[in-house]
Homo-oligomer: A and B are copies of this chain.
Amino acid sequence: MAKSVNKVILLGNVGKDPEIRVLPSGQPVANFSIATSERFKDQQGNWQDRTEWHNMTAYGKLAEIIRDYVKKGSKLYAEGRLTTRSWDDKESGKKVYRTEIVVGDISLLSGRGEEGGATSGGYSQQRSGSGYDQRSSGPDDYANTGITDDDIPF
Protein backbone atom coordinates (compact mmCIF):
# COMPACT_ATOMS: atom_id res chain seq x y z
CA MET A 1 0.00 0.00 0.00
CA ALA A 2 1.25 3.39 -0.75
CA LYS A 3 1.94 4.96 2.53
CA SER A 4 -0.33 7.69 3.65
CA VAL A 5 0.57 11.11 5.03
CA ASN A 6 -1.09 12.72 8.04
CA LYS A 7 0.65 15.92 8.94
CA VAL A 8 -0.30 19.05 10.80
CA ILE A 9 1.76 22.21 11.09
CA LEU A 10 0.70 24.87 13.55
CA LEU A 11 2.15 28.14 14.70
CA GLY A 12 0.22 29.92 17.37
CA ASN A 13 -0.11 30.64 21.04
CA VAL A 14 -0.74 28.30 23.91
CA GLY A 15 -4.03 28.91 25.69
CA LYS A 16 -3.26 27.70 29.20
CA ASP A 17 -0.46 26.09 31.08
CA PRO A 18 -0.21 22.49 29.85
CA GLU A 19 -1.71 19.72 31.95
CA ILE A 20 0.55 16.80 32.68
CA ARG A 21 -0.65 13.32 33.49
CA VAL A 22 1.29 10.14 33.99
CA LEU A 23 0.05 6.97 32.35
CA PRO A 24 -0.08 3.73 34.34
CA SER A 25 3.05 2.75 32.44
CA GLY A 26 4.82 5.73 33.94
CA GLN A 27 4.81 7.55 30.63
CA PRO A 28 4.09 11.29 30.91
CA VAL A 29 1.44 12.89 28.74
CA ALA A 30 1.00 16.62 28.18
CA ASN A 31 -2.24 18.18 27.04
CA PHE A 32 -2.54 21.77 25.94
CA SER A 33 -4.16 23.88 23.30
CA ILE A 34 -2.86 26.17 20.60
CA ALA A 35 -4.80 29.06 19.15
CA THR A 36 -4.40 30.08 15.57
CA SER A 37 -6.28 32.96 14.05
CA GLU A 38 -7.12 34.15 10.63
CA ARG A 39 -8.61 37.28 9.22
CA PHE A 40 -11.61 37.37 6.98
CA LYS A 41 -13.99 39.97 5.71
CA ASP A 42 -17.46 39.82 7.09
CA GLN A 43 -20.59 40.59 5.12
CA GLN A 44 -20.14 44.27 5.77
CA GLY A 45 -16.68 44.11 4.34
CA ASN A 46 -15.00 44.61 7.67
CA TRP A 47 -12.05 42.55 8.71
CA GLN A 48 -12.73 40.08 11.45
CA ASP A 49 -10.51 37.66 13.28
CA ARG A 50 -11.51 34.11 13.92
CA THR A 51 -9.62 31.97 16.38
CA GLU A 52 -9.28 28.26 16.03
CA TRP A 53 -8.31 26.15 19.03
CA HIS A 54 -6.33 22.96 18.57
CA ASN A 55 -6.13 20.18 21.16
CA MET A 56 -2.56 19.01 21.48
CA THR A 57 -1.22 15.85 23.09
CA ALA A 58 2.40 14.95 23.60
CA TYR A 59 3.96 11.86 25.08
CA GLY A 60 7.18 10.88 26.73
CA LYS A 61 10.12 13.21 26.77
CA LEU A 62 8.31 15.69 24.62
CA ALA A 63 5.65 15.88 27.32
CA GLU A 64 8.35 16.62 29.86
CA ILE A 65 9.81 19.36 27.72
CA ILE A 66 6.38 20.87 27.31
CA ARG A 67 5.79 20.62 31.04
CA ASP A 68 9.03 22.44 31.71
CA TYR A 69 9.05 25.11 29.03
CA VAL A 70 5.63 25.70 27.54
CA LYS A 71 3.31 28.05 29.38
CA LYS A 72 0.13 29.92 28.85
CA GLY A 73 0.86 32.46 26.17
CA SER A 74 3.89 30.71 24.73
CA LYS A 75 4.26 31.10 21.02
CA LEU A 76 4.85 27.65 19.62
CA TYR A 77 5.55 25.95 16.34
CA ALA A 78 4.30 22.37 16.40
CA GLU A 79 4.16 19.47 14.02
CA GLY A 80 2.03 16.46 14.56
CA ARG A 81 -0.62 14.20 13.20
CA LEU A 82 -4.36 14.18 13.48
CA THR A 83 -6.14 11.60 15.52
CA THR A 84 -9.79 11.38 16.47
CA ARG A 85 -11.10 9.44 19.42
CA SER A 86 -14.73 8.62 19.86
CA TRP A 87 -16.93 7.27 22.60
CA ASP A 88 -20.60 7.05 23.42
CA ASP A 89 -21.93 9.87 25.47
CA LYS A 90 -23.47 8.40 28.59
CA GLU A 91 -26.49 10.65 28.59
CA SER A 92 -27.47 10.84 24.98
CA GLY A 93 -25.98 7.56 23.89
CA LYS A 94 -24.65 9.39 20.88
CA LYS A 95 -21.19 8.92 19.60
CA VAL A 96 -19.04 11.92 20.32
CA TYR A 97 -15.68 12.73 18.80
CA ARG A 98 -12.62 14.55 19.90
CA THR A 99 -9.89 15.38 17.43
CA GLU A 100 -6.41 15.93 18.74
CA ILE A 101 -3.01 16.57 17.32
CA VAL A 102 -0.39 14.18 18.57
CA VAL A 103 2.70 16.32 18.70
CA GLY A 104 5.79 15.03 17.00
CA ASP A 105 7.96 18.11 17.17
CA ILE A 106 7.91 21.57 18.61
CA SER A 107 9.89 24.74 18.47
CA LEU A 108 9.32 27.10 21.32
CA LEU A 109 9.38 30.65 20.03
CA SER A 110 8.80 32.48 23.27
CA GLY A 111 8.12 31.96 26.88
CA ARG A 112 5.27 33.48 28.76
CA GLY A 113 4.84 37.15 28.08
CA GLU A 114 6.83 38.57 30.93
CA GLU A 115 9.57 36.01 30.71
CA GLY A 116 9.42 35.73 27.06
CA GLY A 117 10.63 37.00 23.80
CA ALA A 118 12.62 35.04 21.39
CA THR A 119 15.76 35.87 23.26
CA SER A 120 14.58 34.45 26.54
CA GLY A 121 15.57 30.95 27.28
CA GLY A 122 13.50 29.56 24.52
CA TYR A 123 13.78 25.85 24.55
CA SER A 124 13.15 23.87 21.49
CA GLN A 125 12.89 20.27 20.67
CA GLN A 126 13.12 19.11 17.14
CA ARG A 127 11.97 15.92 15.69
CA SER A 128 15.29 15.08 14.32
CA GLY A 129 18.25 12.94 15.02
CA SER A 130 17.84 11.12 18.24
CA GLY A 131 14.84 13.19 19.11
CA TYR A 132 12.58 10.32 18.35
CA ASP A 133 13.12 8.51 21.56
CA GLN A 134 10.87 10.98 23.24
CA ARG A 135 7.99 8.84 22.37
CA SER A 136 7.01 5.65 23.98
CA SER A 137 5.72 2.65 22.24
CA GLY A 138 2.01 2.66 21.78
CA PRO A 139 -0.63 3.42 19.24
CA ASP A 140 -0.07 7.11 19.42
CA ASP A 141 3.58 6.91 18.77
CA TYR A 142 5.53 8.27 15.96
CA ALA A 143 8.42 6.05 16.68
CA ASN A 144 9.98 3.48 18.85
CA THR A 145 13.70 3.56 18.49
CA GLY A 146 16.41 1.93 20.40
CA ILE A 147 17.88 5.26 21.30
CA THR A 148 18.61 5.68 24.95
CA ASP A 149 18.25 8.81 26.94
CA ASP A 150 21.89 9.67 27.11
CA ASP A 151 21.85 10.12 23.38
CA ILE A 152 19.91 13.29 23.94
CA PRO A 153 22.00 16.39 24.21
CA PHE A 154 19.71 18.36 26.44
Contact = CB atoms under 8 A, between A and B. Distances in A.
Interface residues of A, number: 84
A126 B12 CA distance: 12
Nearest to A98: B97
A68 interface: no
Interface in A34-73: 35-43, 47-48, 50, 52-54
**Main SS at interface, chain A:** mixed
Interface of A: 1-13, 35-43, 47-48, 50, 52-54, 75, 77, 81-84, 89, 91-92, 94, 96-99, 105-110, 113, 116-120, 122-133, 135-151, 153
22 contacts: A2-B107, A3-B107, A3-B108, A4-B36, A4-B126, A5-B12, A5-B36, A6-B10, A6-B12, A9-B9, A40-B139, A43-B137, A52-B82, A82-B82, A89-B96, A94-B96, A99-B99, A117-B118, A128-B142, A129-B137, A131-B143, A132-B132
